[in-house]
Each structure stands twice: as C-alpha cells, then as structure tokens.
Amino acid sequence: MMRAALLLAGLSTLALGAPAAAQSGHAGHGGTQSAPMPMPEKPAPAGDGDHGQMEMPAGASCAPEHAAMGHCTPDAEAAAPDDAPACPPEHAAMGHCAPAIAPPTMPAPSATGMVGTDLPAGDAPAPPPPGDWYADRLYPKSEMEHSRHAMMLENGAQTTAFLSFNLAEYQVRKGRDGYRWDAEGWYGGDINRVTVKSEGEGSFGEAIESIETQLLYSRPVDAYFNLQAGIRQDLGHGPGRTYATVGFEGLAPYWFEVEGALFVSDKGDVSARIEGYYDQRITQQLILQPMAELNVAAQDVPELGVGSGLSDMELGLRLRYEIVREFAPYVGVEWARKFGDTARFARAAGEDASSVSLVMGLRAWF
C-alpha cells in the first residue's frame, strides 16, 4: 500500500516539471523572440445599401428575373453573324423564316460620272424596222405586200360610208297632211369624215315648205363626241340663206344622242339649235324614242318669219319595231310650238302657232 502511494507521488512530480524544462530549452536557442502570427482584419460592417446597389461579379450575366426587378440591365443581343445560314425555300414556304433580300447594285458610272437618266440623249438614227417577213420565203413577195396592205386597211386605215334616215314619216295634221324627213350620211375614216345632213318638211298638194342641207367636216374630239364645221344652205319659202356652221354631235352620259350647232348667215343673222333623243328599249325589238328640238335666234328676221329669243320647239314620242336593226317602222305623236315674235309672224301669215300631228314612218340605215 505504501509502495503504491510513493509511485503516484513520483509520477505527479514528473508531470509538473516537463513544461518548465521545455520552456527553458527553447529559450536557449537564441536571444530573439519569434514574431507573432498576423491576425485577419476584421471585416467592415455591412452598410445600409439595398440589394440593387450590390455590384455583380465581372462576367456574370443578368438573369431575366433580376432584370425584371431592375437589379441589372441585360446585355444587348449579339448581332447576327454575317455568315448566318440562308433561308431555304422550303422553310420560307412554311413561314419559318424570310429570305434575305440582296441590296440593290448601282450601275458603274460612266466616264463623265453620270449614270441612269443623267446620261444625255443619244442622237443615233433609229434602226430600220425588220423587213425579213417569213412569209416572203414561202410566197411571192409582191403578193404578200398586197396582203399586208389589206390587213392594215382592215385594222383602222379603211374608209367607209354610212347613210341613215332617223325620220322619214307621214304626218296627219289638222288641215292638210304633211311629210317630214331627217337624214344624215358620212364618208371617211375613224378620224376625218365628210358629213352631209338634210332635213325638211311640207304639206301634200303644196310646194316644199323648207329644205335645209349641211355640208360639214367632222373630226372626233374624244371617244364620244365629234366636232363639226361647214356650211348650211336653206331653200323653200322666202329668201334663201347660206350659213357658216360650227357644231357638235355625240353620245352624252346615260346614252342620250345629242347635237347642237351655231349658225351665222351671209346676212349676219345668228341662230342656234340643240336637239336630242333617247332610245328606251322595252324589248329587244320594241323601242320607245322621246326626242326634243329647240331653235333660238339672236334677232328678228321678219322675211323668214323668225323672232328673237326662243323661236320654236318640237317634242315627239315615237315607238318603233325593229324587224332588223337596219329597218324599223314606227308610229308616234309630235307637238310643235312657236314662241314670241315667231308666233306673231305665223299668225299674221294665217298659220297656227302650235300644232299636234300623228306620225307614222320608217327608220333605216345602210
């Protein structure tokens, strides 16, 4: 028992003396003391800045959710490389892409530096038209020239003739029955024509009351109207008169056939006339035609029984049946009235100032 106590006391003495011996041994290695190890700096306290002021690390991309909250700005999309693949036709047809459009190329400038319409007009003569007709190789050239000339005539260079009787009628009047005609004919091409107009009337058993004939040059001013100029000669009761004439005729909107003229006589008398009619088609062959004519004078001409102003007016209504287009009999009614001094001159001569006639006649053209 005693031995155990002594052993424990010796072990405790050795344990307490070991640290002191170690310190004394290190102290004898040198006179300098080892430098203390550096301590890490204390991090600065975080400021009150918000999350938006935090700097993103270099090279970091801006995530879409951060860009939506305004924390960063997304980088601009990189430009498409010049060597981007072309849009194949099959993809373009399905709407997957749009084919690239090649930039326009400018023509190379000339020696004077001008291009396109800046260049001066050339003065070289035009080349001759081709004359190597293939048909001339198979047929005699003289015969083919005649054939080509005929073809050109048939396609606009021909001259034609036309004659029409718009009115050729018998008039049943109060007293003596009468007659009336209104005809027109022309000869020429599509542009230049010679036109002849004739109209007149009279009573059976008496001399012709009036005959009016016009010789005119006619030329179109557009697709629907012709301008006419020439002379007019009047015959019948009273002194004859010759007039210089200028007028027009054509197709007005809504298919009204109209014509008008201004007359200046060799005595200085001035007068004018306008007339027109309209074909109202009831069936393909039955046509109702209303028509009107007005005459105006600038002065009194007592020897002709014409007063100044509106001298006379005629209104008619005729119904025709076209057996063929060129041949159509008709029936109708016509009312005529004289005005002003013209009516006074008629009464002084024992004539009526107004009249109504039943008419029947034929409309034809060739």
For 187-237, the pLDDT digits (tens) are: 998 899 999 999 999 999 888 989 999 999 999 999 999 999 999 999 987
Cβ atoms of residues 184 and 196 within 8 Å: yes
Give the H/E segment covering residue 246: strand 241-252
b/e map of 91-115 (b: 16 or more CB within 10 Å)?
eeeeeeeeeeeeeeeeeeeeeeeee
140 located within any domain: no
Whether 258 is covered by a domain: the verdict is yes
Rounded to whole angstroms, what are the CA distances from 77 to 57, 81, 87, 237, 354? 20, 12, 21, 102, 96
CA distance to 171, 180, 333, per residue, from 290 (Å): 17, 17, 10
Type of residue numbered 352: D
Q: Give the closest residue to 182 by CA, choosing from 194, 191, 193, 171.
A: 171
Tokens of 286: 């039955």
- The SS3 call for residue 113 is coil
Q: Residue 136: how many CB atoms within 10 A of its CB?
A: 14
pLDDT tens digit at each of 366 positions of the chain: 455 555 555 555 544 444 444 444 444 444 444 444 555 555 555 444 454 455 555 445 677 777 777 777 766 554 445 555 578 778 777 877 877 776 666 666 666 666 667 777 778 888 877 777 888 889 998 999 999 888 888 887 788 999 999 999 999 998 889 999 999 999 998 899 999 999 999 999 888 989 999 999 999 999 999 999 999 999 987 788 999 999 999 999 999 999 999 999 999 999 999 999 999 999 999 999 999 999 999 999 999 999 999 999 999 999 999 999 999 999 999 999 999 999 999 999 888 999 999 999 999 999
Does residue 101 lie within any of the structural domains?
Answer: no
The answer to whether the beta carbons of residues 208 and 198 sit under 8 Å apart is no
pLDDT given for residue 108 in this prediction: 63
In a domain, 272, yes or no: yes
Token reading at 117 = 């319409």
3 state SS of 6: helix
**Burial per residue of 230-265, b for 16 or more beta-carbon CB atoms within 10 angstroms, e otherwise:** bebebebeeeebebebebbbbeeeeeebbbbbbbbb
Identity of the residue numbered 134: Y
Cβ distance 271 to 306 under 8 Å?
yes
Domain that holds residue 260: 160-365
Say how many domains are in the chain: 1
**Terminal alpha carbon distance of the chain:** 172
Q: How many CB atoms lie within 10 A of CB 299?
A: 13
Note whether residue 139 is domain-resident: no
Distance CA 10, CA 91 (A): 99
Q: Reduce the DSSP state of residue 279 to 3 states and report it.
A: coil
**CATH, residue 348:** 2.40.160.40
Cross-strand partners of 331:
319, 360
Q: Is residue 346 part of a domain?
A: yes
Enter the tokens of residue 141.
């050239």
Give per-residue pLDDT as tens, 166-187. 999 999 998 889 999 999 999 9
Residue 244 is assigned to a structural domain of this protein: yes
**Would you say residue 53 lies in a domain?**
no
Q: Please check whether residue 271 is in contact with residue 245, taking contact to mean a CB–CB distance below 8 angstroms.
A: no
Per-residue tokens: 118: 């800046």
